[in-house]
Amino acid sequence: MTWQKWFDYNNVENAGEDIIQTLDGGYAMLNHNYGNTDVSSVLFKLNSLGEIEWQTGLTLKYANAISQAGDSSFIIAGEGLNSTGVLTKISKTGETQWSKTYYNSGVYTSSFDDLIITKEEEIVACGLYMIKTDSEGKILWDTIYGCHRIAGSNNGNYYITSSVGLRKIDSEANTIWFTSFPYYMKSLVVDSTGNIYTSGGTNSIYVFKFDSSGTLLWNKFYSARSAFSMCLSKDNKLLISGIYDTLIQTGIEALKLNLNGDVIFKRKIRSVTDDWFVIPYAVNSTYDNGFIFTGQTDYPGFPFDDNAIVVKTDSECYAPMIVGIINLNSIIAEDFVLEQNFPNPFNSQTNIVIQISKSGKYTLEIFNTLGNLVDRVSYDNLNSGKYSIRYDASALSSGVYYYSIKSEGVNSVKKFILLK
């Protein structure tokens, strides 16, 4: 299943900061609200289709990283008031179980940029200040290493990156080795054989590969922009989320590499048409061999400020564009009407007009001729009126499909033909 959706919280500027796939097959997305002094960070729990299951405000100024524990709860690392570090535990249903603050006077900020949960369910969080806690947030040790990314090794040690190099430490924070490099590394992953990969870059993307002893195996540069995040795919490859720029648009560009650094593909992931921007701040792999991205977009424009965006792709980084919906008028409809799409047949995009008499949640579902659900988009809180849905079918193959609009007491079906 592939889809793209945008999210707004209280009509302020939003951005997706981190995202993971959860143990139940859904997703957990950290959202930052710029300019909202009451709730600066929000955790969205989504199902596998990107529909909101629940959302909860967090007691963090900045929520930077999230991981899921074995009991399905979530551990979130970030920054609190007065530049303190914060760890928060949220239950699988959205209740805060505990939130703790940490401070070290030896650094100008004790905030945490990243975290991992060990197989012993201990928490290791890093920033300029670094700590290891038990599962309840009690400090086991702390130190100052000035790092911003952390990954676990295959034998219980840790790798951390800073602005000056890569360090390997043991489970008690003692340095095993350190290697310096002249580039700022934004991302860090470890493959199944124990090799380490770091990436970064603004005007180009660079990737370094090290073995578990800290020996540089190779470094390569790529003609793509801004390596915001990197993950290891389920087929043991590297996937880097960058951006592409045109005169009118900024969007996601995904770069997939094999473990020798050879390019498998470089793909633009279009989210919307026209002059909208999309910036991907985080990417992770998914159980179905696809990828999940989150970041920020200015779509759909007024009256909304910038919003968080989540993009679910397949293994080749294909995803349909965001399905747009426009309120054609504010009439009080007396009945439900699903009109025939136009144009039909069509190539890529078509318009579907609906007229609804009851306010509520409506869902567009697309089925193939075998009756299999191939796409679904939900619209919350639609008022009575007439709407035009701009549906993008670029991720589907040519053929006959059936589209349905569902709501409480409503289920209407029509057919369209996609020609490519």
Tokens of 43: 């955790």
Mean pLDDT per 10-residue interval, the chain, length 420 residues: 86 91 97 76 94 92 96 97 96 97 95 97 97 98 95 95 93 96 91 96 93 97 91 97 78 96 93 80 97 92 80 92 62 73 90 87 89 83 81 87 87 90
Which of 355, 350, 343 minimizes the C-alpha distance to 394?
Answer: 350
What pLDDT shows up at residue 331?
A: 47
Apex CA 303: angle with CA 298 and CA 309, to 5°? 30
Q: Which residue do the tokens 């793909």 mark?
A: 267
Paired strand residues for 328: none
Is cis: bond before 182, omega within 30 of 0?
A: no
CB 148 within 8 A of CB 162: yes
Cα 322–Cα 26–Cα 232 angle in degrees, nearest 5: 85
What confidence score (pLDDT) does residue 103 get?
Answer: 96
Q: Are residues 328 and 403 in contact, defined by beta-carbon separation less than 8 angstroms?
A: no
Kindly list the distances between the CA atom of residue 11 and the CA atoms of 36, 46, 63, 72, 305, in Å, as whole numbers in the listed order: 10, 19, 19, 30, 6
Domain ranges of the chain: 3-313, 324-418
Q: How far apart are CA 323 and CA 84, in angstroms?
A: 40
- For residue 324, what pLDDT is reported? 58
pLDDT given for residue 302 in this prediction:
63
Domain 3-313, second-level architecture: 6 Propeller (2.120)
Q: Please give the CATH number for the structural domain made up of 324-418.
A: 2.60.40.3080
Count CB-CB contacts under 10 A for residue 17.
22
Instruction: Look at residue 323 in the predicted model and tell me its pLDDT.
Output: 58
Round to whole Å and give the CA distance between 276 and 299: 6
Contacts for 73-79 with beta carbons within 8 Å, 24 or more apart?
73/97, 74/28, 74/43, 75/115, 75/117, 75/123, 76/30, 76/43, 77/112, 77/113, 77/114, 77/115, 77/125, 78/41, 78/111, 78/112, 79/109, 79/111, 79/112
